[in-house]
Homo-oligomer: A and B are copies of this chain.
Amino acid sequence: MAKQIPDIVIGRLPVYLRALQQMLAEGRQVTSSQELGERLGISAAQIRKDLSQFGEFGKQGTGYNIEYLANQVREILKVNKTWEVVIVGAGDIGRALAGYSGFSERGFKIRDIFDNSAERIGEQHGEFVIKDIATLKSEAHAAGIKMAMIAVPANAAQAVADVLVDAGIQAILSYAPVNLNVPPGVRVQNIDPSIHLQRMTYYLTE
C-alpha cells in the first residue's frame, strides 16, 4: 500500500472490528455506516471515509456484508493471523492478563509470562510457569516474538522496556502509568485507568 494512512484512522479500525464481531455474534449479516456509527458514537460519514482509504467494501444502498468487512479489516490490521505476546510482570495485572480469555478471537496468544522476582519465577499460574526475565531476550529472539505487555510498577517499567527493545520487540502495551522512551520503530500503547477516569471527572456534577 503506497498511501500513508493517518494513524488516527488505524486507531479506529479495531473499534469498528469489535463492533462488527459483536454484530456477527448477534447473528447479523448486513450493516450500514449509519448503524455502525450509532453503535459507536461516530458519524456515518467518518466511518465511510475511514474505510474508503482501503478500498470499496460496500455497495451504495445495500450496506456492508459484515463478515466480509470484518475479514477485510482483520487483513488490514494483520490480525487475520495469531500474534504471540509475552507479558512481563507476574503481579495481579500480569496474571489477570495471562488468564484473560478474550485474546484468542482477536488475533493474540499469550506465549509466556516473565518476572524478575525469585519468589515468582517457577511458580505455576494457570497454564503458565512464570519465567525469569533474564531468559526473555533469547526466548523472544528464538521464537520471533514482536509484541509484549508490561505489567510492572511504574519505577521498573523503563528498564523492562529497554529489555524488550533489546529483545527485538516492536510493539509494547504498557500498564505502567509512565511515559516510556523507546527508539523509532518501536510502538507503545498505554493503558492507565486513572487517565480514563480523569477524562470523565471534568464532566461530573458534584
Contacts and interface: CB of A to CB of B under 8 A. Distances in A.
Contacts of A15: 195
A1 to B, nearest CB: 10
A44 interface: no
Interface residues of A, number: 57
Contacts of A200: 147, 170-171, 173, 187, 189
A25 to B, nearest CB: 9
A16 to B, nearest CB: 10
Interface string A93-105: 1011101101100
A138 interface: no
B147 A202 contact: no
Contacts of A163: none
Interface string A102-121: 11001110000000000000
Contacts of A92: 92, 95-96, 99-100
B192 A18 contact: yes
Contact of A194 (B95, B107, B178, B199): B107
Nearest to A174: B196
A198 B14 contact: yes
A17 interface: yes
Given A107-B197, A147-B204, A173-B193, 17 more contacts: A13-B198, A14-B195, A14-B198, A18-B192, A22-B179, A77-B199, A78-B202, A92-B100, A102-B177, A103-B193, A108-B194, A108-B197, A146-B204, A147-B197, A170-B200, A170-B203, A171-B201
